[in-house]
Structure 1
C-alpha cells in the first residue's frame, strides 16, 4: 500500500498564529522542565546525603535557605537512621529507616527522570515544528521581497 499524502492550503495568518502558539508552548515546556530538573538535582543530593551521613550523633550544619546564605550547627539525634520522615508527595509523609527512605526517594527520582525525558522529547518536537514553520515564513517573506523588488523595477 502506498501512503497518500494530503495537501492542505494554510493561510499566512494561520502559520503565524501556529508559530506563536508553539513559541508559547515551548516556553511552558521549558519552564516545567527547569522545575523538574531542579527537583531531580535536589532528590539526588538528598539521596547522597542520606547514604553518606554517618551513624551515631554527628554534628552537621543546616542551611537556613535554599541559596545557602547561612548555616547553623546542629546535632543529629542518636538513632536517626531508623527515624527518617520522607515526603511521599501530595503532603503525605512516612516514617522510614535510612534504607527505606533512600528506596522511596530513588523511586521518585526515577519517576521524575521519566517526566524529564518526556518533556525533553515534547520540547524537541515543538522546537522542530516551530523551526519548520519559521523556515516557511522566511521563504514566503523572501518571495514577497523579490516580487516587490521586481514590481518596483518595472514601474520605473
Structure 2
C-alpha cells in the first residue's frame, strides 16, 4: 500500500483477500447469532416450564425434545426444587424462583452478547459491501478496456 495525494493504493489480491476474510467473518457471526438465538429460546422454554410447575395441576406434559416429537407426562409434578445449569458443566439444585433469577441473568447476558454480535455483523456486512462495490467497478473498468 502507498499513499499518493491522499489516496490509498492496495493490490487487487489484497482486496480479494480482505473480501474473503470478511465473508468468513460474516458467516461466523451469523452462526453465533443463530446459536445465541437458540439459547435464548431454550431459556424462555425453561422459564415457561418453571411457571407451569408453579401452577398446581394433576398432570404436567413436558416436551422431550425441541420439536415435540416426544412428550413426557409427569403426574402430580412437584416444584419445590429444580436443577439449573450454571455453566462449565456445573448444575445446582435450587428453588424455582432462584432458577428463574439465574435463567434471567443468563438471558440478559446473552441479549447483550447478541447486540454485540449484531453490531459486528452489521459492520462486517457494510465493509464487505463496500469492497464488493469496488471490485465490481474494477471489473466494469476491465471489461470496458478490453
Q: TM-score w.r.t. structure 1 length?
A: 0.83
Match of 2:120 among 119, 122, 147: 122
Q: Give the match for residue 84 of structure 2.
A: 86
Cα distance, 1:62–1:44 mapped onto 2, change above 3 Å: closer
Alpha carbon RMSD of aligned pairs, Å?
A: 1.8
Higher strand share: 2
Q: Which structure would you say has the larger Rg?
A: 1
Any idea what the Cα deviations from partners look like across 1:43-89, whole Å, max 9, x if unmatched?
A: 112112312434446411232322211213122543x2x21111111
Extract structure 1 runs of 4+ deviating beyond 6 A.
Answer: none
Q: Report the equivalent of 1:154.
A: none
Q: What residue is the counterpart of 2:32 in the other structure?
A: 32
* CA spacing shift, 1:123–1:76, aligned 2, 3 Å: farther
Supply the distance in 1 between the matched residues of 2:61 and 2:55 (Cα, whole angstroms): 16
Q: Which runs of 5+ in 2 are unaligned?
A: none
Provide closer, same or farther for how the CA distance between residues 43 and 60 of structure 1 changes in structure 2, counting only shifts above 3 A: same
Aligned length: 142
Q: Which residue of 2 aligns with 1:153?
A: none
Please say which of residues 116-125 and 39-48 is displaced more in the overlay.
Answer: 39-48
Give the TM-score normalised by the residue count of structure 2.
0.88
2:8 aligned counterpart, secondary structure: coil
| Distance in structure 1 (CA, Å) of the matches to 2:64 and 2:104 | 25
Deviates more, 1:59-68 or 1:128-137: 59-68
Which range moves more in the overlay, 60-69 or 46-55? 46-55
